[in-house]
C-alpha cells in the first residue's frame, strides 16, 4: 500500500502492508524466546512490511547498503512455527549465527538482523548485516558485520542515497 507523506520519527514511509497485531508480534517473540525492541514493535504495529526513506546505511568502515525493506509479520494470528522460522535467520548450524534474527533485507538480498549474541534475553539487541553470498573461510558461516548499537541508532543513522553519494564524492 502506498503511503504518501506518512512519517515515523525521521523516516518517510514509502509503502507498507498495513498494521499488524501485537498478538502476532508476541507469537514470534515466543517462538524464538526473544523480546523485540519497543521502538521496533511500535513501528511494526503501524507499518508492517515497510520500506522507508532514507534507506541507506554504512557498515565495515565505509561499505554502503541501500534500498532496505522490513520483513512483514504473518497476517494470521497463529502461523505455523515452521512458516515463521523460514522467514528468519536463526540458530543455523551451517551458515547462520545463534541468537541472530533477520528483520529486513537490502536491495542486494543481504539480511539486516537483530544480534542478541551479547544478551540473548535483552530487548535492545545490536543491529548487524549478514552478507548472503560471502562466507568466512575459517567458519564457513555467512559474513556478519555490526551496523548499530541498537534499533533506535540504526533508524537514526539511515541516510538518503544523495547523502551517501555526497559523503563519498
169 residues of the chain, pLDDT tens digit each:
444 567 888 899 999 999 999 998 998 898 889 999 999 999 999 999 999 999 999 998 778 888 899 998 865 444 555 555 555 665 566 678 889 999 999 999 999 999 999 999 999 999 999 998 998 899 888 999 999 999 999 999 999 988 877 776 6
Assigned domain for 1 exists: no
Report which DSSP code applies to 62: T
Task: Give the distance from CA 22 to its chain's centroid.
Answer: 18
For residue 59, what is the enclosing H or E element?
strand 57-59
Three-class secondary structure of residue 102 per DSSP? strand
Whole-angstrom distance, CA of residue 53 vs CA of residue 161? 9
Q: Which domain holds residue 85?
A: 7-167
- Give pLDDT, residue 64: 82
Structural domain contains residue 30? yes
Count of domains forming the chain: 1
- Give the CATH number, domain containing residue 139: 3.40.1580.10
Q: Select from 94, 92, 106, 101 the least CA-distant residue to 28.
A: 101
Angle between helices 38-46 and 22-32 (to 10 degrees): 140
CB proximity list for 113: less than 8 A, separation 6 or greater: 89, 100, 101, 102, 103, 127, 128, 129, 130, 144
44 part of a folded domain: yes
d(CA 21, CA 8): 18
The answer to whether position 65 is within a domain reads yes
In a domain, residue 24? The reply is yes
Provide CB contacts within 8 A for 26, sequence distance 6+: none
pLDDT of the residue at 117:
94
pLDDT at 16: 93
- Residue 84 pLDDT: 56
pTM score, whole prediction? 0.87
For residue 77, the model assigns a pLDDT of: 45
Report yes or no on 2 lying in a domain.
no
Q: What is the grid cell recorded at 106?
A: 537490502
Predicted local confidence at residue 5, as pLDDT: 62
In Å, how far are 14, 41, 45, 126, 139 from 72, measured between CA atoms?
Answer: 15, 12, 11, 20, 30
Neighbouring C-beta atoms of residue 14, cutoff 10 Å: 15
Q: Is residue 37 part of a domain?
A: yes
Amino acid at each position: 500500500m502506498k503511503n504518501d507523506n506518512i512519517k515515523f520519527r525521521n523516516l518517510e514511509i514509502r509503502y507498507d502492508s498495513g498494521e499488524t497485531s501485537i498478538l502476532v508480534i508476541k507469537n514470534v517473540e515466543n517462538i524464538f524466546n526473544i523480546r523485540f525492541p519497543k521502538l521496533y514493535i511500535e513501528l511494526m504495529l503501524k507499518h508492517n512490511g515497510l520500506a522507508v526513506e532514507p534507506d541507506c546505511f554504512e557498515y565495515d568502515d565505509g561499505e554502503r547498503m541501500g534500498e532496505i525493506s522490513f520483513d512483514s509479520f504473518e497476517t494470521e494470528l497463529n502461523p505455523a512455527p515452521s512458516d515463521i522460522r523460514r522467514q528468519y535467520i536463526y540458530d543455523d548450524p551451517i551458515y547462520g549465527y545463534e541468537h541472530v534474527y533477520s528483520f529486513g533485507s537490502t536491495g542486494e538480498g543481504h539480511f539486516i538482523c537483530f544480534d542478541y549474541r551479547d544478551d540473548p534475553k535483552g530487548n535492545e539487541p545490536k543491529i548487524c548485516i549478514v552478507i548472503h553470498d560471502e562466507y568466512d573461510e575459517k567458519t564457513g558461516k555467512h559474513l556478519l558485520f555490526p551496523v548499530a548499537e541498537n534499533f533506535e541508532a540504526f533508524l537514526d543513522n539511515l541516510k538518503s542515497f544523495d547523502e551517501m553519494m555526497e559523503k563519498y564524492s
